[in-house]
Amino acid sequence: MTEKILKCFREKFGDGGDIRCYFAPGRVNLIGEHTDYNGGHVFPCALSMGNYGVARKRDDRILRWYNMTYPEEGVREISLDELKPNDNGMWFDYQQGVIWAMQKEGIDIPGGYDMVMMADLPAGSGLSASASIEELAAVIVRDLYDLPISMIDCARFGQISENEYNGSNSGIMDQFASAMGRKDHAIFLDTSDLSYEYVPLNLKNEKIVITNSKVKHNLTENSYNSYNTRRKESEEALADLQRVIDINSLGELDEELFDKNSEYIKSDICRKRAKHAVYENQRTIRAVSALRNGDLKAFGKLMNEAHISMSRDYGASCEEVDILVEEAWKLPGVIGSRITGGGFGGCTVSIVENEHVNDFIERLGEIYRERTGRTAEFYIADAGDGAGRIDKD
Ligand code: GLA
């Protein structure tokens, strides 16, 4: 992969100088959906799929970028001093947003850089292609200019980029997973204080299979911004609850306390959204304990419950994804299956016994085609390391 990008870099920007290679992964979230902006827990892992970049410092303040995934767009050129928020959601907006966020937070970026990148991850499918692009930019500037910032800072700048530059009011899960991933581990992250633990994914007899429904979501869709609406609904529920109980986030509630006070949430819709946020957080905590105790069956059952909650209470699934999940549940060797990521389309994540993986892919693909006329794509997830500089291959 890097060889191809290096070749293109030399063609576009010339050879010589200190040319460096980078990679930033996408992520798959195993459980804990729409809990990250509600002060709850999430459990994602970084993937071995993501965005690759090759870059070299410049001695002026210009950024010159080319994305091999979108060759028709040509070389994009902009000065470090010209960056302005917008909600176009183009690949370069996510990177510009990170650089803008760093500068806004007082980080001095001394110069620009030339870069060629290439995606190895489908965009708009719930695998955090945008966070991967953001973290690619973060690690490139951090490394090229030896900036005194941590990888958690890189995740934070990525979230600021989403929220304040790109107009998506997302939480920090995706950027955190992309920046902080660890091979063969998932990250149990408490978003209320960013404390985290790496939990080994000791799956000897099972694989994590991602199924792409090919129904695209768009987190900053202007006409009807479902993601931001969900966030507002959660906030409204929290505000109602705060009139009667002393809490800072929905993540502070367990099921019992929520059920006792849920009547104070005025809108029925907001009550359902809050129920998901509270129950999903508790499910995530239980799921991680189950995994640690080697009880994969219990983990899978919680994944299934998480899907139902995401679909019925949070209203963040869609017909095609529900079909993928419900049909997966019926297939042999499936330990658990659910929607993953922001929702409204995108991917499902399933844990499938090794010996059934091939049949799972074949059968589910067929059924999905019969029922929706669409062709699903399947990937076997391989939990990988977080973003950083990589060797030239
Ligand atoms: C998107 C957001 C995340 C998170 C998930 C839902 O991926 O970027 O912050 O809220 O949706 O869990």
Is 343 a domain residue? Answer: yes
Decide: 34 and 281 in contact? Cβ < 8 Å: no
Whether ligand 1 lies within 6 angstroms of the CB of 135 is answered as no
Domain that holds residue 64: 2-200
- Find the 52 Cα to ligand 1 centroid distance in Å: 22
Are both 168 and 215 inside the same structural domain?
A: no
**Token representation of residue 331:** 């297939």
What is the average per-residue pLDDT within 306-333? 97
The domain that holds 7 is classified in CATH as 3.30.230.10
pLDDT of residue 217: 66
Q: What is the DSSP letter of 127?
A: S
Are both 96 and 54 inside the same structural domain?
A: yes
Give the HSE-up count for residue 304: Cα atoms under 13 Å, Cβ half-sphere: 15
What is the average per-residue pLDDT within 321-340? 98
pLDDT of residue 222: 40
Pocket mutation for ligand 1, best pick of 170, 191, 226 (most atoms within 8 Å of C-beta)? 170
Decide: 345 and 365 in contact? Cβ < 8 Å: no
Given 200, 229, 260, the domain boundary residue is 200
Pocket mutation for ligand 1, best pick of 36, 189, 232, 311 (most atoms within 8 Å of C-beta)? 36
- Find the 262 Cα to ligand 1 centroid distance in Å: 24
Whether ligand 1 lies within 6 angstroms of the CB of 327 is answered as no
Q: Nearest 5°: phi and psi at 302?
A: -70, -35
pLDDT of residue 224: 46
Task: Provide the pLDDT confidence category of residue 119 given band limits of 50, 70 and 90.
Answer: very high
Whether ligand 1 lies within 6 angstroms of the CB of 44 is answered as no
Pocket mutation for ligand 1, best pick of 28, 30, 34, 135 (most atoms within 8 Å of C-beta)? 34
Q: How many CB atoms lie within 10 A of CB 205?
A: 10
Distance separating alpha carbons of residues 159 and 97, to the nearest angstrom: 9
Are both 274 and 141 inside the same structural domain?
A: no
Whether ligand 1 lies within 6 angstroms of the CB of 341 is answered as yes
- Find the 136 Cα to ligand 1 centroid distance in Å: 18
Q: Nearest 5°: phi and psi at 18?
A: -95, 90
Count: domains in the chain: 2
- Could you tell me which of 320, 365, 366, 375 has the C-alpha nearest to residue 343? 320
Are both 99 and 6 inside the same structural domain?
A: yes
Is 340 a domain residue? Answer: yes
Sequential DSSP letters for 217-235: --TT-SS--HHHHHHHHHH
Is 390 a domain residue? Answer: no
pLDDT of residue 345: 93
The question of whether 322 is a catalytic residue gets the answer no
- Please tell me the least confidently modeled range out of 218-232, 302-316, 353-367, 373-387: 218-232
SS (H, E, C) 323-371: HHHHHHHHCCCEEEEEEECCCCCCEEEEEEEHHHHHHHHHHHHHHHHHH
Are both 194 and 306 inside the same structural domain?
A: no
The domain that holds 310 is classified in CATH as 3.30.70.890
Whether ligand 1 lies within 6 angstroms of the CB of 233 is answered as no
Q: What is the pTM of this model?
A: 0.97
- Average pLDDT, rounded, for the chain: 96
Given 170, 200, 230, the domain boundary residue is 200
Are both 292 and 196 inside the same structural domain?
A: no
**Strand 185-190 versus strand 62-67 pairing type:** unpaired
Are both 64 and 150 inside the same structural domain?
A: yes
Is 95 a domain residue? Answer: yes
Give the HSE-up count for residue 239: Cα atoms under 13 Å, Cβ half-sphere: 9
Q: Nearest 5°: phi and psi at 144?
A: -60, -40
Are both 182 and 229 inside the same structural domain?
A: no
Are both 155 and 264 inside the same structural domain?
A: no
Q: Per-residue pLDDT tens for 336-350?
A: 999 999 999 999 999
pLDDT of residue 218: 59
Distance separating alpha carbons of residues 336 and 190, to the nearest angstrom: 23
Task: Provide the pLDDT confidence category of residue 85 given band limits of 50, 70 and 90.
Answer: very high
Indicate whether 221 pLDDT > 70.
Answer: no
Task: Provide the pLDDT confidence category of residue 223 given band limits of 50, 70 and 90.
Answer: very low
Contacts of 392 (CB under 8 A, 6+ apart): 2, 3, 6, 21
Catalogue the E-assigned strands of the chain: 20-29, 41-42, 44-57, 62-67, 76-79, 113-119, 185-190, 195-200, 206-212, 334-340, 347-353, 377-380, 388-390
Is 66 a domain residue? Answer: yes
Bridge partners (DSSP) of residue 62 are: 79
Q: Nearest 5°: phi and psi at 225?
A: -90, 85
High-pLDDT (> 90) share of the chain, %: 93
Are both 152 and 211 inside the same structural domain?
A: no
pLDDT of residue 125: 86
Contacts of 308 (CB under 8 A, 6+ apart): none
Are both 194 and 338 inside the same structural domain?
A: no
High-pLDDT (> 70) share of the chain, %: 98
Is 110 a domain residue? Answer: yes
Amino acid at the residue 115: M
Distance separating alpha carbons of residues 390 and 393, to the nearest angstrom: 9
- Please tell me the least confidently modeled range out of 208-212, 219-223, 227-231: 219-223
Distance separating alpha carbons of residues 328 and 348, to the nearest angstrom: 10
Is 172 a domain residue? Answer: yes
**Token representation of residue 330:** 């019926």
Are both 142 and 224 inside the same structural domain?
A: no
Given 173, 200, 227, the domain boundary residue is 200
What is the average per-residue pLDDT within 360-369? 98
- Find the 227 Cα to ligand 1 centroid distance in Å: 8
Q: Per-residue pLDDT tens for 16-67?
A: 999 999 999 999 999 999 999 999 999 999 999 999 999 999 999 999 999 9
**Strand 113-119 versus strand 62-67 pairing type:** parallel
Give the HSE-up count for residue 100: Cα atoms under 13 Å, Cβ half-sphere: 22
Q: What is the DSSP letter of 262?
A: G
Is 134 a domain residue? Answer: yes
- Find the 31 Cα to ligand 1 centroid distance in Å: 11
Decide: 181 and 386 in contact? Cβ < 8 Å: yes
Given the residues 174, 190, 240, 313, the one annotated as active site: 174
